[in-house]
Structure 1
Amino acid sequence: MKKILTSALVAGMLLSVGATSVLAMGGASGARTDYIVVNKLGEVVVNPFRIAPLTAIIKDGGYVLKDVTVTIVPKEGGQTISYQVLDSRLKNYGGIPVFGLYPDYQNTVKVSYTKLFKGEQIKEEAEYKIYAPAVFVDPDGTYLQKGGLFSSVDVKKVEKGFEDRLYFFNNLGNKSTKSAKAVWNNPTGGALEWNQTPLVFILDTKGEVRWYLLPVKDLYDIDSAYKAGIMMGFKQNADGAMSWGFGQRYVKYDILGREIFDRKLPASYSDMSHSIDDADNGNFYIRAAGFNVKRPDGKNVHTVRDIIVEVDTNGNVLDDWRLFEILDPYRDTVLKVLDQGAVCLNIDASQAGKTMSADDLAALDTNDKFGDIVGSGAGRNWAHVNSVDYDPEDDSIIISSRHQDAIIKIGRDKKVKWILGSHEGWSDRYKKYFLQPVDSKGNKISCGETGSKCPGYENEKGGFDFTWTQHTAFKIDEKSKGDIIYVSAFDNGDTRGMEQPALAEMKYSRSVVYKIDQKKMTVEQIWEFGKERGHSIYSPVTSLTEYQADKNSVVSYFATSGLNIDVVSGLLLSNPSPTIFEHKWGSTEPSVEIQLHDSMGYQAFPFSVNKAFGTK
């Protein structure tokens, strides 16, 4: 009976992987491996590094391989993923890396390769059947998690030439009740209350999930102060790997989940969030905070989102920009007009539509209240820097400061080079750094007596406007030359004109591109999108705008469009339904429009599978 059962089991295993399979089992000849070998190479390992379930490795079977091409055969009417693999990258995996499997589906994967054996080069093709599991998201019991990563997706438009796009999404689940007691609070304040479940995935242009991150404990531990926090700042580096940070760590992994490095922040800093920029020389520029900073009044505080740290490839600190010493942390002009219901991810529906008064801000100093709260001075959320971009042309950084409504360039010498934003409320010390708005002919544009109300700040077409509570300020290297540079930004639109509008429905968000003459200290608005859509895609927090050189296009992620709060009752009326757009350079109509439903977005951008495997 035992022999019959064993034979049946083996037969079933063989049938499950195809007629060409070979099962290597122990026997009279001695101990042998007992995995299933499929086709002409070695075994198939699904989710080889535990954090990327829609990937696999087809092991090389002991052969030396080269000239590898992988094709994931699409579902009917679906999107093909096909890529080549650099020969040397095969050594990282001991075989052929497979990316882009459909979840909960028996995938067909075709590979072609040349294998070297006994001095010969043998060209072969093979077909594999690989089942990948369904998407799993750590449950939090809320409706927002219906459907896992999102409840549904609506592919509204994909023009010819963009069908091959893969979009990488960095979205956020709800704050986990499992981590509710973990708060970083030494010496005081901090931001580890930002500890929401990661929802990180890649979609194709058919709206299908083709990769997602499974944050297992080796990488992420929601119970640990040093291994938890919101995952943010994802970038695909020049070598194709992904870098990002969360809480007290910053990391780099390849798309199959192979660890390149996983490090704690250097000891003088804490609370990484929002942004890490990878420079061409391999250094990283991390938006962090001061772990323990002595204020001019002698108080020790834990600062909030106001330090940029430069580290080298080995994690050594090279420099930092302490913004509370470079800028004016007591400029509270913007703080008084912020919608307190949506201060970035500190969304409080009960405070929707409310603002802070000068007395409210003054009371914070009286009470010595510090931490992740809107307020002026080091130790409070006065700057809220949400992006950093290194400019090697003049060894400077460009930052986006949400709570100063400003995009600012700062040199290695820690001196401001220019300020792109409302002129209102800055002290005399900074006025020489203002960029002067101009039209396409170089004529000066007046933004009124306060310097906040430009012709274009209201919901009409044309004109010029600054950015308001903006996210992502990136220099467009491919378009810039010398003193003439182009900068993209996502203008969220809260505090537009340094005020709250009469009706919440009057708010809008937009993507915008500026042309800056750094010598003449002028700025021209050359492109915008979003104003014409009005409140329908208004994104009060998060979001991204970024140029894409491969298609000479601009990607915009309206990451919290549809977030609807009743300003009377304070109730959340609808969950976000973020939308990603891609425009050809200069076009007013998008070439791509894809909307997710019931998902809190942070950032999204195109992902290059060829770069990931070293071929482009």
Structure 2
Amino acid sequence: MGVLFKEVEHIIDRQYRAEQEFLAEYAKEKHTIANPYVKLNPYLIAPLTALVMFENEKPAFAKVTVKGKEAAGDMMYRPASDSIHMVLPIYGLYADYENTVVIELSTGESITLTIKTEPADDKLKAPTYMKTTSEYFQDFVMMVSPTSPAYTAAYDYAGDARWYNTLNLAFDIKRARNGHLLMGTDRLVAPPYHTSGIYEMGMIGKVYKEFRIPGGYHHDEWEMENGDILILTQYLPRGTVEDACVLVDRKTGQILKEWDHQDVLPVYPVGGSGSQDGHDWFHNNAVWYDKKTNSLTFSGRHQDIMINRDFETGKLNWIIGDPTGWPEDMQKYFFKPVGDGDFDWQYEQHACMILPNGDVMCFDNGHWRSKVKENYVPANDNFSRGVIYRINTEDMTIEQVWQYGKERGAEFFSPYICNCEYYENGHYLVHSGGISTDDKGNHLDVPAAGMTKEIDEGTVFLNSITVEVKDDVVLYEMHLPANYYRAEKLHLYDEADEVVFGKGERLGSLGVTEEFLTEAPAEEAGMIPDEYKAKFAKEADRLVFKASFEKGTLVMLNLEGENGAPDRHYFVPTTKRPFLAMCVGTFLEHDARAVEFPVSAEGIEGTYKVTVTVDDKKYDTGVEITF
């Protein structure tokens, strides 16, 4: 078979080339509303979108209606400004369907278009249960991001998918003030799911920016009022993950400020949840900025706590969680429960937020539901829920003022992922996205994201239940046969989300990949054997090495410089980690021996011969690469 080598075009470059091609095609003839130019899936990754373009004789306003399968399913929008040059994004098409799109101009002209879409593959999941009304849900869609093999997709009131994206996008979904989506990238930098950063992407599918972070991205991000972005990350060389946050400049991608949780919290094994280990001691899965107190609230799954830190100084203000087992000098940060109502601490929670009145809301996964191993609660007897706490920071007391989910028991239990959303007082979303059962109907105690083999063989079954409640009445409930990290209700159309032509930007930095200072002694052994399944991909800003090795094998990737370029050596980890919090399994290879190791191009210039050392033998790959 030999070594496979390919150059992989970055999505920004692919999309720019596609854009140049369809603009050139458009320019070949004059298009009016009578013969508009229609491009389905113009940016390659959003199959249920299209672009309609034409010229008017004078400026006109437009109204666009994507007809539903019934009248309640119509998706309609009006661009905010009039124009001679019409560039109309079309969202809300159905898959494998002859869609009807009506465009009406303020001049009185109109046209009805038919846009035929392709069938979607089985990664676009169909709901197994949907209960709401079109009067309640209106023209909203529920967008979900997957942790098991599935697409990021958006579903209407009837459970029909009206948008999906074919990139392997994961973790949080947020709509920025400019109408774009902020989501994690599809470029893995470290196992099991840490990616290069976040994409800023229009609903049309165009990636306008990639914000790259040296430590990689995971779980969550937050747009500040001035546009800068808080991004959860880590410092990979020190051997721990998911324990830091950075503030990134929206215009340049440069890091402006950092918060390291090791500065304010004791690490492993202090405060450990049932999923904690020394590598992933905190597991920061959410960040929330509160303007009133100028503070940041973080969720630490592996210490069963939510913490609040001063934005400017980083000082620790308070901790919400079960204080059992925490050292005496930390007890002052914890709250004492008060009140006559029900009260349960949250365990391995997600999606912390500060409500307008200062209350604290989160999704309480309830994983193990105890700090003491002997008291762990098994999944079949457990529950997950959305919960709101009222805190008093003067006397350090806490009261539980609302919850939804406990009454549903194990049916609603998710040992990982999930989120809540606040709409107004009494009106909330509660998304239990990590439900899993075995073939006997037993609920699973551990995250199912990494159980690809069991899912394929039909011995593990996945479910996601998304609920909206108003004044404790369920007005919306959707079940999907996969696990989804978060759910977000939004409009497909946002008047700020205009299609802007031009090449997207790669901002920030992947950093410099840590080198091993000496080359491991090894004998020359010819070409690397096929059994290692070695593959290399050259991307715009890095080299990615993939191969298959038994766990514990000593592996080193060598870049042997030519024409005076210095040799570079990189240690490739092959030690098996348990990854007790496998939040996203979509980046995992089916082969348990699979290794993926990226080398950032930053700081490297010249031409290099690529070799691989395996134990005491050094193999040629036949690959030569220029940075």
Into which bin does the TM-score normalised by the smaller protein fall? Answer: 0.5 to 0.7
How far apart, in 2, do the equivalents of 1:170 and 1:612 lie?
23
Residue 219 of structure 2 is matched in structure 1 by 274
CA contact (8 A) 2:271 2:304 kept: no
Corresponding position of 1:417: 317
Q: Structure 1 residues 568, 42: CA separation in 2 closer, same or farther (over 3 Å shift)?
A: closer
1:104 corresponds in structure 2 to 96
1:375 is aligned to 2:277: yes
Change (3 A) 1:125 1:463: same
Counterpart residue number, 2:423: 548
Matches within 5 A, 1:110-509: 110-114=102-106, 122-136=107-121, 147-150=122-125, 152-158=127-133, 160-174=135-149, 199-215=151-167, 231-246=170-185, 247-265=195-213, 267=214, 270-292=215-237, 301-314=238-251, 315-335=253-273, 338=274, 343=275, 374-376=276-278, 380-411=279-310, 412-439=312-339, 463-476=342-355, 479-480=356-357, 485-499=358-372, 500-501=375-376, 503-509=378-384
Alignment of 1:561 onto 2:435: yes
Tell me if 1:604 matches 2:487. Answer: yes
Tell me the alpha carbon deviations over residues 216-265 of structure 1, each in whole angstroms, 9 at most, x when there is no partner.
xxxx7xxxxxxxxx622221112221011230122101101222211321
Q: 1:34-91: CA deviations, max 9, x gaps?
A: 6795842631111122221111111023656543222111114762211222228x79
Question: Which amino acid is 2:282 matched to?
Answer: A
For residues 291 and 507 of structure 1, what CA distance do their matches in structure 2 show? Answer: 34
Q: Provide the rounded CA distance (Å) in 2 between the counterparts of 1:318 and 1:69.
A: 42
Distance 1:200 1:73 in 2: 23
Q: For residue 334 of structure 1, report the CA deviation from its aligned partner.
A: 2.7
Runs of 5+ consecutive residues of structure 2 not aligned to the other structure: 1-24, 186-194, 499-627
Aligned with residue 74 of structure 1, among 68, 76, 86: 68
1:307 aligned partner, one-letter code: A
> Quick one: which amino acid aligns to residue 307 of structure 2?
I
Give the direction of change, closer, same or farther, for the CA distance of 1:568–1:199 in structure 2 (3 Å limit): closer
User: 1:354-391 deviations in whole A, cap 9, x for unaligned?
Assistant: xxxxxxxxxxxxxxxxxxxx423xxx100001001112
| Aligned AA (1:172) | T
Q: Residue 264 of structure 1 aligns to which amino acid in structure 2? A: R
SS in 2 for 1:413: coil
Q: TM-score, normalised by structure 1?
A: 0.68
Amino acid at match of 1:400: S
Query: Letter of the aligned partner of 1:388 in structure 2?
Result: V
C-alpha deviation, 1:487, in angstroms: 2.0
Q: What is the CA distance between 1:596 and its match in structure 2?
A: 1.1
1:591: which partner in 2?
475
CA contact (8 A) 1:409 1:418 kept: yes
Question: What is the alpha-carbon distance in structure 2 between the residues aligned to residue 582 and residue 511 of structure 1?
Answer: 11
Per-residue deviation, 1:326: 1.4
Equivalent pair of 1:159/1:592 in contact (CA under 8 Å): no
- CA separation in 1, counterparts of 2:206 and 2:126? 30
Q: Is the 8 A contact 1:85 1:614 kept in 2?
A: no
CA apart distance, 1:33: 5.9
Deviation at 1:568, TM superposition (A): 12
Secondary structure of 1:578's aligned partner: strand
Q: For residue 292 of structure 2, what is the amino acid of its counterpart? A: E
- Is the contact between residue 141 and residue 491 of structure 2 (CA under 8 Å) also seen in structure 1? yes
Q: Is the 8 A contact 1:287 1:307 kept in 2?
A: yes
Q: Decide whether aligned partners of structure 1 residues 534 and 612 sit closer, same or farther in structure 2, where only a CA change above 3 A counts.
A: farther
- What TM-score does the superposition give when structure 2 sets the normalisation length? 0.66
Q: Secondary structure at the match of 2:360?
A: strand
Offset of residue 474 of structure 1: 1.2
Q: Tell me how far apart the structure 2 counterparts of residues 513 and 66 of structure 1 sit (CA, whole Å).
A: 49
Contact between 1:110 and 1:128, CA under 8 Å: does it hold in 2? Answer: yes
2:95 partner SS: coil
The answer to whether the Cα contact below 8 Å between 1:391 and 1:475 also exists between their aligned partners in 2 is yes
CA–CA separation in structure 1 for the residues paired with 2:241 and 2:308: 20
Distance of aligned partners of 1:159 and 1:70 in 2 relative to their CA distance in 1, 3 Å threshold:
closer
Take 1:36 and 1:168, find their aligned partners in 2: how far apart are those partners? 37
Is the partner of 1:135 in helix, strand or coil?
coil
In structure 2, C-alpha distance between the alignment counterparts of 1:32 and 1:391, rounded to whole Å: 47
- C-alpha separation in 2, matches of 1:254 and 1:59: 17
- 2: CA distance between counterparts of 1:588 and 1:128? 43
Which residue among 450, 453, 462 is the counterpart of 1:576? 462
List alignment gaps of at least 5 residues for structure 1: 1-30, 115-121, 137-146, 175-197, 221-229, 293-300, 344-373, 441-461
